[in-house]
Each structure stands twice: as structure tokens, then as C-alpha cells.
């Protein structure tokens, strides 16, 4: 018996790079259209939207650099056979459980359309965005108080929204009627529809230029190239055996916690890679459950391993590099219907950190843990009109093996609201906006620092929800680095009426003149803090990232009168503390 012949390559290497650039440009153009035409601030200003392109069978060819995508096309295919689709069709859903976690909370809407060339289906395109309000328990549809998904807004199963160019207006009317802010929902829907229409046109142009067969082969080669690259990096990082890591979230806001995420990655002697999450804690009553699609671990590890590879694109090759993902129904990362999911981002961020932890325990040099971005929702009435201010606030990311962690990051390419926009759009005045000093974990490479935002409330009355994690279980440091420092939320700080809010809470009442201070957490450090050059510590002190007291306590560097006191620093550093591999409040070789 002879081995099967290798597949015939219809797309040569030069054409492959042209196709890669063309589909990446089409995806970026779709994103630009959403940004310029959406109405709600969370899409237009925060940029909480993604686009992706798929081959004719629904396999992702290129997507945004976001490690939370699952099988986007599968939910639609299970209800609408691809061979029955026509030009001009558009499909829509936000059903988390029905999509098996392809969408992981209900605010995210997915619009998907097939692309045809000369009567042949050649691709699919997708637009996805977070809608500000889709009904539910409270304005914004996300609340720490939610205990089931029905309290988080309308659920849309896979639906044919446009049939051969004819819009199902009745379906949209039902959707808009469930929103407290229907005009914003209408504008955002039009933006997504326009983006998908643009993507269809661009992919049809690419197919027309190169031919359907060459395009199909090019996309296949891009999948294979990504998969081979990620598998090669997995083999370099993980010797044969099983590697384990545990991370924690503080709790669910309903009395349970901490909640542990336990991962094990096994490389078998025949080079199969198995990710096992079955030992993760049970699902929670509160809305911090993360319905993790099995593609997510491979997508996240793929993004890490593809870092710096300019010729690669994010696609289904990452998930396909892992042979099996084992999940346990009823766990925090595979909850049973109808568990609440609205604040799953908190757990999702710890999942991504836990995957970095797996790389670290295997001897790799992944970043230390990052903080989970903070969410606040301020709701009320101003000038006789209701308002909803949904704000996601940046945090510190973990130190890398070659550089400090990134300061003040929200999530991937998303952004913090500009001060001018906030004050014009909402009844608040920003009185302070800057770096949260000493929040980054000390290390040879310092963890990124979080943010301090201070708002003065200008509305007569408002109610606020807050989501902040890592207060009791801060982001871990690695390789001798120390954990990041937690954030907190305070009303009227420094006054007799000061009160600290529960980190995961809703129903917090504010009145005109109240000052709300939100301090977000920092990322973990990497390497022993006493190995950080004294000049770097001085720069941090002068720049407001590290206080003089913390410089002496954590780094053994004495800073006086804007300069390093060499004699005092030498004495401090003579007492070098013993460090272990990980740090979360204290040093440990293994986190549990």
C-alpha cells in the first residue's frame, strides 16, 4: 500500500499572499463600516464588534484578533442547510445555549450571509456586535442580580432575517419592541446589515478575480498553515505528559466563591493534544458562567503562538491544532440552561489567564495574569429622558518575558471612552482620569497598571451596577514576579459619607453631586522584583506608576528627591526575598 498523494495546490505561494491580504482587507473594511455607522456608544466608541470571513463550508478563514470565537456557522447550518441558501440571504441569532457557546452572552448579535459567484457558494461573512439593551431585568440587559438567562433579554434562535433580499420586518419589530432604546437597536442593526452586505460584495469580487477553486484552495492552505504553526509551537512548549493549572474568580455576587477554573493539557506519546476542563467548579447562581465553545482554547492558544507571525491570520487552524476539548456539563465553563451568562467576561478573562498558566507550568514564557476589565452600568433619568451609560474600563495586563505588561487596556482592540464624549453624552463630569499607581505587580518586568476614573454624577438620581474581580484573588505573577494589586469602587471618597461598593453588585443608588471613584486592578509581574534595574524603578516612580514607598518595599530601591539613593538601595537589596514560581498574594510553586 502506498501513501495517498498530497493534495493538488491550485493556488501558488504568491497568489496565496495576495488572497490573504485581500480577505484581511475586506474584514477590516467591514469593521470600519460598523464603527462609522453604528448608533450605540458601546459599538461606535468602545468598538465592541467583530467581523469574520469563512470558506464555503463555514470554516473560519480570517477573524478579528479575539480569542472568544466558537463555531459561528454551525448554529445556522443545523437549522438551515447550506445547500438551500440563496444570494441575498441573511441569518441572525444571539442564542447562547442554542449556539453551544458560539455566542456567550445574549447582548451579542450575529449576522451571517452566504457569498455566491457564478451560482456557486464560495464563502460566508459575519458581523457581530454588542447591543446596548435587548430587554431583561434591568436597562443594559446585564446585571449582577440576574439568576437565569431569561432575565438577560430576548433570545433569538437562528432566524432567516433576509430571504433572497426580502427583509423579515416582523422579526425586527419584535426585537426592537423588547429594547428600552429601540432607536439605537435599529441603528446598530442597520450598521451590521450594511457591514455584512459589504463583506459579501468584497468576497464575491475576490472570487471573481481569482476563481472559486483557487479561492477555496487558498483558504484551505491558510487553515493548514495556521494549524501546522500552532501544533509546532505546542510541541515545542509541552513535553509528553499532563500539565495542570488552576485560576480563580472571587465569586458570583450571590454568596458563592471563590470559583476555580481547573485546566489540564495532555500531550500523548503519539502527539495528540487534549485540553481537559472537567475539574472546573460547578456553575454559579449568578451571571458569571462562561458557556465556553470547544473552539475557544485552541483559538486563544493560537493567538498566543501566532504572536509576531506577520504572515499568519487568525482562523480555524488554531482550534484544529487541539485534538480534543473535554468539558463537563454543569460546570462554570459549561453551565446548564438556563443559567445566567451576562457577566461571563469576568470568567472568560480568567480562562485566558489559565491558558497562559498552562504554558508557564510547562516551562514556556507566557505573560503573567491580566486583570479582568471592569464593567459599570449607570442608569437613570436626566432632563426628563432615560439614559444608559455602559462603560468598560481598562485594567493592567500581565508582564511578558521580555517587557512590562501593558497599562490601561480594556480588551484587545477595544477602547476607553474619551472624556469629551462621556461628558457630552451622559450626565456625568469626569474629575479624574489616570493611572492607578502601584496596581501593577512588582517584578523584573512590571505588570501593567490599571486606571482611576472619578465621575461626578449630574443626574438627579441614578442606579449603578458594577463588575470588578481580583479583589480577593488578584492576577498572579510568574517566575518570581508578584501578583497585581486589586481595584475597588468608592462613593464620595475621603468624605464622612464614603462607602465602598461590593465588587459585583447592582442597585447602588447615586444622587446629584455624588462622586464615584473606580480604581481598576493591575496585571501580575514576571521575574524577581529585585532584578529590575534601579533606573527603571526610578522612571516608574517619576512617571506615577509606582510610589516611593512601594519602590523601597517591593523593589528594594530607595528614591529620594527624584533620584536613586545608591547606598540605601544597596542595603535594601542585600536582603533579597526568596521567590517561588507563582505569586497570588503570597508565593507558591503551585496555585490552587
Predicted confidence (pLDDT) per residue in 525-554, tens digit:
999 999 999 999 999 999 999 999 999 999
User: Using an 8 Å Cβ cutoff, are 161 and 174 in contact?
Assistant: no
Whole-number pLDDT of residue 413? 63
Same domain, 127 and 143: yes
For the chain, how big is the Rg over CA atoms in Å? Answer: 25
pLDDT in tens, 69-105: 678 999 999 999 999 999 999 999 999 999 999 999 9
Question: What is the CA 66 to chain-centroid distance, rounded?
Answer: 6
| Beta strands in 176-301, from DSSP E residues, in sequence order | 241-249, 259-267, 273-276
Query: What is the mean pLDDT of the segment spanning 508-525?
Result: 97
- Number of domains the chain is built from: 3
Q: Give domain status of residue 249, yes or no.
A: no
pLDDT in tens, 126-171: 999 999 999 999 999 999 999 999 999 999 999 999 999 999 999 9
Q: For residue 155, how many other CB atoms are within 10 A of its CB?
A: 18
Q: How far is CA 47 from CA 39, 128, 451, 477, in A?
A: 11, 11, 19, 29
DSSP string, 216-248: HHHHHHHHHHHHHHHHHHHHHH--SEEEEEEEE
Average pLDDT, the chain: 94
Angle among Cα 288, 289, 293 to the nearest 5 degrees reads 135
Whole-number pLDDT of residue 383? 87
DSSP string, 62-105: EE-S-TT---SSHHHHTTS-GGG--TT-EEEE--TTTTTTSS-S
Same domain, 191 and 222: yes
Distance CA 297, CA 230 (A): 12
Helices (H) and strands (E) in the chain, counts: 13, 25
User: Using an 8 Å Cβ cutoff, are 125 and 112 in contact?
Assistant: yes
Q: Which domain holds residue 427?
A: 367-528+580-591
* Beta-ladder partners of 267: 241, 273
Same domain, 544 and 504: no
Distance CA 366, CA 357 (A): 7
pLDDT in tens, 300-330: 998 899 887 777 778 899 999 999 999 999 9
Element (H, E) at 515: strand 515-519
- Return the C-alpha cell found at 514: 455624588
Q: Give domain status of residue 324, yes or no.
A: no
Question: Of 439, 443, 401, 405, whose CA–CA distance to 527 is shortest?
Answer: 443
Last residue of some domain: 175, 198, 228? 228
Same domain, 68 and 137: yes
Last residue of some domain: 228, 254, 269? 228
Eight-class DSSP state of 187: H
**pTM of the complete model:** 0.95
Distance CA 489, CA 479 (A): 30
Q: Give domain status of residue 157, yes or no.
A: yes
pLDDT confidence band for 2 (50 / 70 / 90): very low
Q: How far is CA 459 from CA 389, 466, 509, in A?
A: 12, 18, 12
Query: What is the mean pLDDT of the segment spanning 560-570?
Result: 97
Same domain, 24 and 61: yes
User: Using an 8 Å Cβ cutoff, are 181 and 140 in contact?
Assistant: no
Same domain, 539 and 508: no
Distance CA 221, CA 199 (A): 21
Same domain, 53 and 114: yes
Eight-class DSSP state of 395: B
Question: Of 566, 561, 353, whose CA–CA distance to 441 is shortest?
Answer: 353
Distance CA 206, CA 272 (A): 36
**Pairing state between β 120-130 and 108-117:** antiparallel
Same domain, 80 and 102: yes
Same domain, 111 and 207: yes
Q: Give domain status of residue 246, yes or no.
A: no
Whole-number pLDDT of residue 1? 42
More confident site: 303 or 479: 479
* 412 pLDDT above the threshold of 70: no
Question: Of 546, 574, 529, 542, whose CA–CA distance to 566 is shortest?
Answer: 574
Query: What is the mean pLDDT of the segment spanning 170-193?
Result: 97
**For the ranges 51-65, 87-101, 240-254, which has the lowest average pLDDT?**
51-65
Whole-number pLDDT of residue 68? 61
Same domain, 93 and 209: yes
- Report cis status (omega within 30 of 0) of the bond before 16: no
Three-state SS for 324?
strand
Whole-number pLDDT of residue 49? 92
Same domain, 62 and 199: yes
Grid look-up 445555549 returns: 97
13 class by beta-carbon count within 10 Å (0-12 exposed, 13-18 middle, 19+ buried): exposed
Last residue of some domain: 187, 202, 228? 228
Q: Give domain status of residue 402, yes or no.
A: yes
Same domain, 192 and 107: yes
Q: Give domain status of residue 343, yes or no.
A: no
Of the chain, the end-to-end C-alpha distance in Å amounts to: 51
DSSP string, 133-166: ---SSSTTS--TT--SGGGG-----SEEEEETTE
Q: Give domain status of residue 290, yes or no.
A: no
pLDDT in tens, 261-314: 999 999 999 999 999 999 999 999 999 999 999 999 999 998 899 887 777 778
Distance CA 300, CA 304 (A): 6
Q: Give domain status of residue 184, yes or no.
A: yes
Amino acid at each position: 500500500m502506498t501513501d495517498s498523494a498530497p493534495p493538488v495546490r491550485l493556488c501558488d505561494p504568491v497568489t496565496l499572499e495576495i488572497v490573504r491580504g485581500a480577505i484581511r482587507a475586506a474584514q477590516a473594511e467591514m469593521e470600519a463600516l460598523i464603527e462609522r455607522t453604528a448608533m450605540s456608544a458601546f459599538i461606535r466608541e468602545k468598538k465592541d464588534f467583530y467581523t469574520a470571513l469563512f470558506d464555503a463550508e463555514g470554516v473560519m478563514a480570517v477573524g478579528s484578533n479575539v480569542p472568544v470565537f466558537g463555531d459561528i456557522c454551525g448554529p445556522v447550518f443545523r437549522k438551515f442547510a447550506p445547500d438551500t441558501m440563496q444570494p441575498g440571504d441573511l441569518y441572525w441569532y444571539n442564542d447562547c445555549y442554542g449556539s453551544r457557546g458560539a455566542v456567550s452572552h445574549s447582548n451579542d448579535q450575529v449576522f451571517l450571509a452566504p457569498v455566491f459567484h457564478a451560482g456557486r457558494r464560495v464563502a460566508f461573512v459575519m458581523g457581530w456586535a454588542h447591543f446596548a439593551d435587548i430587554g431583561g431585568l434591568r436597562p443594559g440587559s446585564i446585571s449582577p442580580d440576574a439568576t437565569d438567562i431569561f432575565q438577560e433579554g430576548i433570545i433569538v434562535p437562528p432566524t432567516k432575517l433576509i430571504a433572497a433580499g426580502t427583509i423579515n420586518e416582523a422579526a425586527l419589530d419584535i426585537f426592537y419592541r423588547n429594547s428600552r432604546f429601540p432607536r439605537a437597536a435599529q441603528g446598530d442593526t442597520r450598521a451590521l446589515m450594511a457591514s455584512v452586505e459589504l463583506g459579501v460584495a468584497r468576497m464575491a469580487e475576490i472570487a471573481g478575480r481569482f476563481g472559486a477553486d483557487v479561492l477555496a484552495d487558498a483558504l484551505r492552505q491558510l487553515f493548514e498553515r495556521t494549524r501546522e504553526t500552532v501544533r509546532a509551537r505546542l510541541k515545542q512548549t509541552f513535553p509528553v505528559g499532563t500539565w495542570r493549572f488552576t485560576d480563580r474568580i472571587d465569586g458570583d455576587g450571590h454568596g458563592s466563591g471563590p470559583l476555580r477554573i481547573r485546566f489540564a493539557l495532555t500531550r500523548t506519546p503519539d502527539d495528540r493534544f487534549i485540553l481537559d476542563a472537567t475539574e472546573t467548579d460547578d456553575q454559579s447562581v449568578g451571571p458569571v458562567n462562561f458557556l465556553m465553545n470547544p473552539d475557544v482554547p485552541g483559538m486563544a492558544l493560537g493567538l498566543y503562538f501566532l504572536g509576531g507571525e506577520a504572515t499568519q491570520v487568525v482562523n480555524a487552524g488554531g482550534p484544529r491544532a487541539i485534538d480534543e476539548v473535554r468539558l463537563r456539563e454543569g460546570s462554570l465553563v459549561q453551565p446548564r440552561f438556563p443559567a445566567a451568562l451576562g457577566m461571563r467576561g469576568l470568567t472568560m478573562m480568567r480562562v485566558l489567564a489559565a491558558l497562559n498558566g498552562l504554558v508557564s507550568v510547562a516551562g514556556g514564557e507566557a505573560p503573567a495574569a491580566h486583570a479582568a476589565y471592569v464593567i459599570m452600568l449607570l442608569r437613570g433619568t436626566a432632563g426628563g429622558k432615560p439614559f444608559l451609560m455602559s462603560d468598560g474600563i481598562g485594567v493592567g495586563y500581565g508582564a511578558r518575558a521580555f517587557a512590562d505588561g501593558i497599562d490601561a487596556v480594556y480588551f484587545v482592540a477595544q477602547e476607553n471612552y474619551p472624556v469629551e464624549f462621556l461628558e457630552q453624552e451622559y450626565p456625568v463630569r469626569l474629575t479624574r482620569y489616570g493611572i492607578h499607581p502601584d496596581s501593577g505587580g512588582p517584578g523584573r518586568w512590571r505588570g501593567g497598571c490599571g486606571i482611576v476614573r472619578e465621575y461626578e454624577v449630574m443626574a438627579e438620581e441614578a442606579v449603578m451596577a458594577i463588575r470588578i474581580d481580583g479583589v480577593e484573588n488578584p492576577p498572579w505573577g510568574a517566575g518570581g514576579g508578584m501578583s497585581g494589586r486589586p481595584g475597588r469602587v468608592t462613593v464620595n471618597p475621603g468624605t464622612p459619607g464614603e462607602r465602598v461598593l461590593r465588587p459585583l453588585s447592582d442597585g447602588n443608588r447615586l444622587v446629584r453631586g455624588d462622586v464615584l471613584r473606580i480604581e481598576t486592578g493591575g496585571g501580575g509581574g514576571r521575574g524577581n522584583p529585585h532584578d529590575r534595574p534601579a533606573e527603571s524603578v526610578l522612571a516608574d516612580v517619576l512617571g506615577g506608576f509606582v510610589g516611593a514607598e512601594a519602590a523601597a518595599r517591593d523593589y528594594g530601591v530607595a528614591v529620594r528627591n527624584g533620584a536613586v539613593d545608591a547606598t540605601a538601595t544597596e542595603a535594601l537589596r542585600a536582603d533579597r526575598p526568596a521567590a517561588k514560581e507563582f505569586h497570588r498574594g503570597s508565593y507558591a510553586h503551585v496555585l490552587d
